[in-house]
Chains A and B, each alone.
Chain A
Amino acid sequence: MEAKVSEILQRYEPEQSSIIAILQDIQEAYGYLPREILAQVAEELNIPLSRVLSLATFFRAFSLKPKGKHPIHVCMGTACHVRGAQLVLEKFERELGIKTGETSEDLSFSLDAVRCVGCCGLAPVVMAGEEVHGKVSQMKVPGIIKKYKK
């Protein structure tokens, strides 16, 4: 087993209630949930792989596919929606050449919609990795992408 995985498993009691926290740590460490690692986790906690997979698809925080190096999250919460977030999201789709939920071929960017990141006062909000960009308009989108390219 990879050292990273066993280190994560050691943080928790080996029981079913730990599964979501473990998946979260794996998602954080790898940027997604690699299938072979899920199989190891299932075995370690002694639960069927099918259950682990159903949890991994039920919760939005998990992804079974790799994400881009710079994950872009466009907030589609109410405050952002009424201030034009849909147009911002579509601008990102056009500029990056990918649809919402997809990752660019060179794995540099992925694009997702999220529901409220809690900075509604700055709507519309875009998160690039951990960084929050507030009061984003369509016009600001190319500049944000440029900042992370290369």
Chain B
Amino acid sequence: MEDKLTSTRHRLHLMVCAGTACVSNRSFEIKEALEREIKKQGLAEEVLVVTTGCNGFCERGPLLVVQPGNIFYQQLTLKDIPHLVEEHFLKGRPVEKLMYKPPEGKKPIPVLNEIDFFKKQVLIALRNRGLIDPEKIEDYIARDGYQALVKALTQMTPEEIIEEIKKSGLRGRGGAGFPTGLKWEFVRLASTSNGGLKFVVCNGDEGDPGAFMDRSILEADPHSVIEGMVIGAKAIGAQQGYVYIRNEYPLALKRLTLALQEAREYGLLGENILGTGFNFDIKVARGAGAFVCGEETALLASIEGRLGEPRPRPPYPAQRGLYGHPTCINNVETWANVPVIVSRGADWFSKIGTKTSKGTKVFSLVGKINNTGLVEVPMGITLREIIFEIGGGIPGGKEFKAVQTGGPSGGCIPKEKLDLPIDYESLTEAGSMMGSGGMVVMDEDTCMVDVAKYFLSFTQDESCGKCTPCREGTKAMLDILDRITKGEGTEEDLQLLEDLAVSIKETALCGLGKTAPNPVLTTLRYFRDEYLTHIRDKKCPAHVCRDLNVYTIDEKTCLEVGHGCDVCRRNCVSEAIIGEKNQPHRIVQEKCIKCGVCYDVCKFGAVKVE
């Protein structure tokens, strides 16, 4: 694979990560420093610096991967560069101290695919990650890009394309997991009484707050989405496509716009694509920061320039979509899978995964976990493998408590279910859902009542307000949760929460409202004890619900171990701490705003929280 890239005249390719996280860690300065040093050492003819999209291991950024050889350097700083260039690229001696070291082991691991985080991953949607410059169509083509398009347009009928996608078992990666081939067939067969128009749309709204796989695909490999969409358009008979991009993603917008332009210049988009007489073009629509616009009918309304409010389905967009025409909406990751299925075949694809869920899924693995980042894994892998093998477990020797999947529509899965092989069905059965791929790991310091409250306040805030159950029902639930986290809840409140949850699920208009109670229901199902501790003992075991916390200073420790260091008093914004240097300190409870700063700054463990 790597051979194609390095077959050019350069001896080494330095792939500098330019995903959003690495850019914020100054990877462009690293790139410039590399180029400067390389020139200085007279290596410009032999060593080429390339920028790539996100490698997934953002926490270790800024990253650099050296090809050929897949040598992985991490957490680079500007002052590492001269040494690195001289040692590795001039003298051929890789620099160990800039390599990844696993948490327990001492020996650094030089090669990317031998690092636990990467080892178990199977890359389909992210097949080009770290290997191409997303701003160069030539790089995509060099890795067999647009081969699938050639095949679909010159050797396959639309029916054959749809048949292949159906056979592959591909299901939507944006939430509900609807079979993609079947959706395409609906749109192909939909009658087009008014004008014969049909549309394809790519949903890149990525509303789950804490997930960034779609962003990463658009930034790292925009052509994979474009290629998928052109193939889809051919299959259903569409003339125009739209990509709807979340407002907070400027880099994705820039790279996609550039990629569309390049594709047009290469005759892969626009009129008479590849000389086959097929016409299809793609426009970009920017989201404007409303979660509900990820819902397909709201999304279409917002492309038309109307308020992004959902409408009842049916009719589904496949029958009546954009401007009333049949429209096929798929998620970014769904589209990115399409070219691989067309070129490698449905049989190959359907061998990966479980009975009902084929292929891979990209997850955004975040929260209380050692290796945060993006991972692509085969369906059927267990939560334990993802969290403890790929993710490297929980930091600071803390205990795993739960993992939240599916974002605000999903739920929390407890440790008894760690060996669950994950697919659409098993997650739903556990009370959660696949969703778009958010996976937030929680440890003993996470309060499950607070998590439920967090998600509910998110959906409450994002409810478009069109229907009463969603608008008022979530508000009522939130009020109850608020009371519980303040120590004012009663045991009857739990029953009330459950009743409200069930009625909202049954009566809300769109998926936002229908799924909003899920985080509350799953935490009640698996962590009822924690709710009861808040209610009966007026305590938050994880010390997250601040109204229930009491901060005190152990005067003995403060005097004898810390010698009254005074750091807490100087850092307390509320002047709640009294005491002089070298004397024991004390907190005046009436003044304390429970910010926890004293607890964090005391190096001697004298500050206690209960």
Residues of A within 8 A of B (CB): 15-21, 23-24, 54-55, 58-62, 76-83, 87, 90-91, 94, 114-123, 131-134, 137-139
* Residue from B287, B289, B367 within 8 A of A78 (CB atoms): B367
State the Cβ distance, B186 to closest chain A Cβ, in Å: 25
Of B249, B291, B304, B305, chain A has the most CB atoms within 10 Å of the CB of: B305
Stretch touching chain A among B37-45, B332-340, B438-446, B489-497: B438-446
Q: Cβ of B573: which chain A residues have Cβ within 8 Å of it?
A: 94
Q: Cβ of A116: which chain B residues have Cβ within 8 Å of it?
A: 208-212, 248
Residue of B nearest to A120 (CB): B366
How many residues of B are in contact with the other chain, CB < 8 A? 58
Query: Are B24 and A132 in contact (CB-based, < 8 A)?
Result: yes
Q: Cβ of B304: which chain A residues have Cβ within 8 Å of it?
A: 16-17
Q: Cβ of A60: which chain B residues have Cβ within 8 Å of it?
A: 247, 288-290
Q: Is B215 positioned at the interface, with any CB of A under 8 Å from its CB?
A: yes
- CA distance in complex: A121, B375 (Å): 12
6 contacts between A and B (CB under 8 A): A82-B368, A118-B206, A120-B211, A120-B366, A139-B597, A139-B601
State the Cβ distance, A58 to closest chain B Cβ, in Å: 5
- With contacts A17-B305, A77-B210, A87-B596 known, what are 11 further pairs, Cβ within 8 A? A16-B304, A58-B307, A58-B464, A61-B287, A78-B440, A82-B446, A90-B595, A115-B458, A117-B20, A120-B364, A138-B595
- CA distance in complex: A143, B286 (Å): 34
* Residue from B23, B454, B464 within 8 A of A81 (CB atoms): B454
Residue of A nearest to B440 (CB): A78
- CA distance in complex: A58, B446 (Å): 33
Residue of B nearest to A60 (CB): B289
B residues 19-47 touching A (CB-CB < 8 Å): 20-21, 23-25
Mark interface residues in B368-392 (1 if CB within 8 Å of A CB, else 0): 1000110000000000000000000
Known: A78-B366, A78-B367. A87 touches B248 (CB 8 A): no
Q: Cβ of A19: which chain B residues have Cβ within 8 Å of it?
A: 305
Q: Cβ of A133: which chain B residues have Cβ within 8 Å of it?
A: 24
Q: Is B185 positioned at the interface, with any CB of A under 8 Å from its CB?
A: no
Q: Cβ of A118: which chain B residues have Cβ within 8 Å of it?
A: 20-21, 206, 212, 215-216, 248-249
Of A54, A60, A61, A120, chain B has the most CB atoms within 10 Å of the CB of: A120
* Residue from A61, A76, A81, A91 within 8 A of B289 (CB atoms): A61
State the Cβ distance, A12 to closest chain B Cβ, in Å: 10
B residues 295-322 touching A (CB-CB < 8 Å): 302-308
Q: Is B279 positioned at the interface, with any CB of A under 8 Å from its CB?
A: no
Q: Is B537 positioned at the interface, with any CB of A under 8 Å from its CB?
A: no
Q: Is B59 positioned at the interface, with any CB of A under 8 Å from its CB?
A: yes
Q: Is B200 positioned at the interface, with any CB of A under 8 Å from its CB?
A: no
Query: Are B289 and A134 in contact (CB-based, < 8 A)?
Result: no
- CA distance in complex: A130, B285 (Å): 21
Mark interface residues in B196-239 (1 if CB within 8 Å of A CB, else 0): 00000000001011111001100000000000000000000000
Query: Are B58 and A82 in contact (CB-based, < 8 A)?
Result: no
- CA distance in complex: A76, B212 (Å): 14
Query: Are B210 and A117 in contact (CB-based, < 8 A)?
Result: no
Q: Cβ of A91: which chain B residues have Cβ within 8 Å of it?
A: 595
* Residue from B20, B247, B287, B366 within 8 A of A79 (CB atoms): B366
State the Cβ distance, A16 to closest chain B Cβ, in Å: 4
Query: Are A78 and B209 in contact (CB-based, < 8 A)?
Result: yes
Q: Cβ of A115: which chain B residues have Cβ within 8 Å of it?
A: 209, 291, 458
- CA distance in complex: A135, B464 (Å): 32
Q: Cβ of B290: which chain A residues have Cβ within 8 Å of it?
A: 58-60
Query: Are A20 and B595 in contact (CB-based, < 8 A)?
Result: no
Query: Are A117 and B248 in contact (CB-based, < 8 A)?
Result: yes
Query: Are A122 and B289 in contact (CB-based, < 8 A)?
Result: no
Known: A16-B305, A20-B286, A60-B289. A121 touches B373 (CB 8 A): yes
Known: A61-B247, A134-B25. A122 touches B58 (CB 8 A): yes
- CA distance in complex: A133, B446 (Å): 23
- CA distance in complex: A122, B232 (Å): 36
Q: Cβ of B61: which chain A residues have Cβ within 8 Å of it?
A: 121
Residue of B nearest to A15 (CB): B305
State the Cβ distance, A48 to closest chain B Cβ, in Å: 13
Q: Is B128 positioned at the interface, with any CB of A under 8 Å from its CB?
A: no
Q: Cβ of B416: which chain A residues have Cβ within 8 Å of it?
A: none
Q: Cβ of B248: which chain A residues have Cβ within 8 Å of it?
A: 114, 116-118
Query: Are A139 and B600 in contact (CB-based, < 8 A)?
Result: yes
- CA distance in complex: A120, B404 (Å): 15
Q: Is B451 positioned at the interface, with any CB of A under 8 Å from its CB?
A: yes
Known: A23-B288, A55-B307. A82 touches B367 (CB 8 A): yes
Residue of B nearest to A21 (CB): B286
Q: Cβ of B364: which chain A residues have Cβ within 8 Å of it?
A: 120
Residue of A nearest to B289 (CB): A60
Q: Is B145 positioned at the interface, with any CB of A under 8 Å from its CB?
A: no
Q: Cβ of A58: which chain B residues have Cβ within 8 Å of it?
A: 290, 307-308, 464
